[in-house]
Amino acid sequence: MMDSLIQQAVTTATQTRAIAFGECALSATGDLFADQFPGSRVLVVADENTFAAAGEPVVASLLAAGVAFVEPPFIFPGVPTLYSSYDNVEVLREHLRPLTDTVVCSIAAGTLNDIAKLASGELDRPYMNVCTAASVDGYASFGASISVDGFKITRDCAAPAAIVADIGVMAGAPARLTATGYGDLIEKVPAGADWILADELGIEPIDPYVWGLVQGTLRDALACPDRIAARDRTEIAKLAEANIMSGLAMQAMESSRPASGAGHQFSHVWEMEGHGLDWEPPLSHGFKVGIGTIASCAIWEATLALDLQQLDVDRVVASAPSTEELQRRCRQLLRPRIAEAALPQILAKHLTGEALRARIELIVEHWPEICRRAAPQLLAPQEVMDRLWAVGAPHHPSLIGMDWERFRMTHFKVALIRSRYTVLDVLSDLGLYEDVVEGLFSAGGFWGRHATPEA
């Protein structure tokens, strides 16, 4: 009971060994657990909402397969919404610690999956997840996005050893969870263009196999946002498959590069700043990524329109910020805790002098080919906005509680938090970053024309 594309991808995953995907996949839970964790007892972990969605058939399947239960299911409260806080990780980890020969089978969407993933990882134990919504690409990825004192970052831990993804359960999930899965997935479009850019400049070559895992199903999965919003099972299956494939691609690459580009960096900034954590329910990762995708595609659209033949390379090299100036700017724009974490990332890719000159000359030389390859990969920012509206996701910064000046300033922060080379960095290297951003917010620029959300 596994999609053929997923079956192929599992063979190259470094941590996930088996996936049951399809209609009625819940019935395979017990046999999958028994096969992957022979001799282990199970601790079923859920919250009240996810247990209501799939708990009884999961428990019945485990019992039918002869899996021993260490105790009744461990169920977090469903109201208020479960937070991906480290406090909850500690609660589950300490509950699990004395239960020897026990593996967690979580029944979870993104938040509880991350809690179970990190709690198991900190005890160096494998775990299994039963997906309850097509809401994230994180089901099959390593790392867990967890908040400590309102500061959310991705913490290292292994992906699940086994996954169950039942189409009927995912189709019945709350609409906002499906919409957030669409928001997470659509960023793979400009992320692909960012990888093309890094490939063309010899910074991070594209692995054709891994590229195909993400991009091969992407367009089809994104094609019908209105039908996804209407809970069409075929379209939700495509969405779930594509998100799972993205996680498996990250495992195969041992990097998030195949599935994360500049658009994700907007979400990372807002998550590190704790934006939306105090909402009920909390502002989802995919909703923030969706807005970041519009922003990334708008930056790409303006970047591809540049005429680099007119670039004054001597002026750009002479006016480039020194290492000290870059450090100062980072500390001015970012909160202290974020700045200290970001500085090693941005200094790793910061070029000056002749090294910068060589990079600029390489960009100019390869610019026609970069444009030729990246342009068909991308979607126009208006198209992304329209698709997010159709699927029921926020399609404007104001709809995620972002005031206009903070949103504008985020464009300058995102270039300072990560070593990954993206469209943000090519503009920084060319000395054109501020001009492009200010152009986007001018009266005739994309954001100048979209200062308020469209109906």
**Extents of the domains making up the chain:** 4-172, 177-201+255-449
Q: Which CATH class is domain 177-201+255-449?
A: mainly alpha
For the beta carbon of residue 369, count every other beta carbon within 10 angstroms: 11
pLDDT at 388: 98
pLDDT of residue 139: 87
- pLDDT recorded at residue 455: 60
Which pLDDT belongs to residue 151?
65
For the chain (455 residues), the mean pLDDT of every run of 10, in chain order, is: 78 94 96 98 96 97 98 88 86 96 95 94 97 91 81 84 97 96 98 98 97 96 98 97 95 94 96 89 93 98 95 97 96 94 92 97 97 98 98 98 97 95 98 97 97 79
| Cβ neighbours around 188 below 10 Å, total | 30
- Could you tell me which CATH number the domain at 4-172 has? 3.40.50.1970
454 burial via Cβ count (<10 Å: 0-12, 13-18, 19+): exposed
Strands 102-108 and 18-22: unpaired
Q: What is the pLDDT of residue 188?
A: 98
pLDDT of residue 284: 92
Contact 55, 26 (CB under 8 A): no
User: Residue 126 gets which letter from DSSP?
Assistant: -
Beta bridge partners of 148: 151
Neighbours of 328 (CB within 10 A): 12
- Tokens for 103, please give them: 């593996």
What's the rounded Cα separation, in Å, for the pair 414 and 425?
10
4-172 against 177-201+255-449: fold identical: no
Q: What is the side-by-side strand order in the sheet with 74-76?
A: 18-22, 162-166, 127-131, 102-108, 41-47, 74-76
